């Protein structure tokens, strides 16, 4: 589903990504880990088509970035730590607007928006302005927004940032149930600092360190306690260098 070959990205003379190789199969849930400054955000921005790679090859669903970004974008749903929503529009208006941008056919638009609102449990607040929402509700709406056009790939960029315990638990629930992650119909890449959640959701773990993949493996091959150790060992190279 996602293939990355020898991806390099430099800012000026500073190499942020120094040859990343990564392959994510359809239906996999990849936890993409790494300390701040390891190039996680840059990597995600490249996958989203928001940043151009300096060199290397990125294939998403068989389409190449950056040449065929339109096709790639149609298949991506993004949930970030920023809401990516408009404060002064209602929940419904927000979703209708993005449905139009993603070219959800006019006949289905209304139904689709209401199904999504129902699934994230916001149907009672459809006519309320996003400004009045709590952080958790905003994040729920953000998930509805990301799934509106039924994307094959879901990118989650630190989705737990700023959520309280309840909201985070609800997000866990939504990820497994609504996003269809457990059924394996969607490919997911999630960046996070929360190793427990990474282990809980992911089928595979990739750890980015100094602009390269320092570790890659399935979660089935490790126990919950092992992940923090592996993470520290992989990332540790930076601090001891």
Size of the site for other proteins (CB under 8 A): 54
φ, ψ of residue 125 in degrees (nearest 5): -105, 20
Q: How far is the CB of 114 from other proteins (least distance, A)?
A: 12
85 binds other proteins (CB under 8 A): yes
89 binds other proteins (CB under 8 A): yes
40 binds other proteins (CB under 8 A): no
51 binds other proteins (CB under 8 A): yes
How far apart, in whole angstroms, are the C-alpha atoms of residue 189 and residue 28? 8
Please identify, using beta-carbon distances, which residue of 93 and 195 lies nearer to other proteins: 93
Q: What is the residue whose two structure tokens read 């980015």?
A: 208
Count how many Cα atoms sit within 13 Å of the Cα of residue 239 in the half-sphere of its side chain. Answer: 9
CB 141 within 8 A of CB 133: yes
Question: What character string, x for contact with other proteins (CB under 8 A) and - otherwise, covers 143-182?
Answer: --x---xxxx---------------------------x--
Please identify, using beta-carbon distances, which residue of 74 and 200 lies nearer to other proteins: 74
Q: Read out DSSP for 150-219? A: --SEEEEESTTTT--HHHHHHHHHHHHHTS-TTTT-SEEEEE-S-HHHHHHH-SEEEEEETTEEEEEEEG
* List of residues contacting other proteins (CB under 8 A): 1, 11-15, 45, 48-52, 61-63, 69-71, 73-76, 78, 80, 82-89, 93, 97-98, 100-105, 108, 112, 115, 129, 145, 149-152, 180, 185-186, 241
């Amino acid at each position: 589903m996602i293939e990355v070959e020898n991806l390099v990205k430099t800012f000026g003379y500073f190499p942020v990504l120094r040859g990343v190789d990564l392959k994510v199969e359809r239906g996999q849930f990849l936890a993409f880990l790494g300390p701040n400054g390891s190039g996680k955000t840059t990597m995600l921005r490249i996958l989203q088509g928001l940043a151009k790679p300096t060199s290397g090859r990125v294939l998403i669903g068989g389409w190449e970035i950056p040449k065929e970004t339109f096709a790639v974008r149609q298949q991506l749903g993004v949930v970030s730590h920023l809401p990516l929503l408009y404060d002064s529009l209602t929940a419904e208006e927000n979703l209708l607007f993005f449905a139009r941008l993603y070219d959800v056919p006019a006949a289905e638009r209304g139904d689709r928006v209401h199904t999504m609102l129902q699934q994230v449990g916001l149907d009672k607040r459809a006519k309320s302005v996003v400004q009045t929402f709590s952080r958790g509700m905003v994040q729920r709406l953000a998930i509805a927004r990301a799934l509106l056009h039924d994307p094959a790939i879901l990118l989650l960029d630190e989705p737990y940032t700023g959520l309280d315990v309840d909201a985070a638990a609800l997000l866990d629930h939504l990820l497994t149930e609504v996003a269809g992650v457990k059924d394996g119909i969607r490919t997911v890449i999630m960046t996070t600092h929360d190793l427990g959640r990474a282990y809980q959701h992911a089928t595979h773990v990739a750890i980015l360190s100094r602009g390269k993949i320092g570790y890659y493996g399935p979660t089935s091959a490790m126990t919950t306690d092992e992940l923090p150790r592996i993470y520290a060992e992989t990332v540790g190279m930076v601090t001891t260098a």
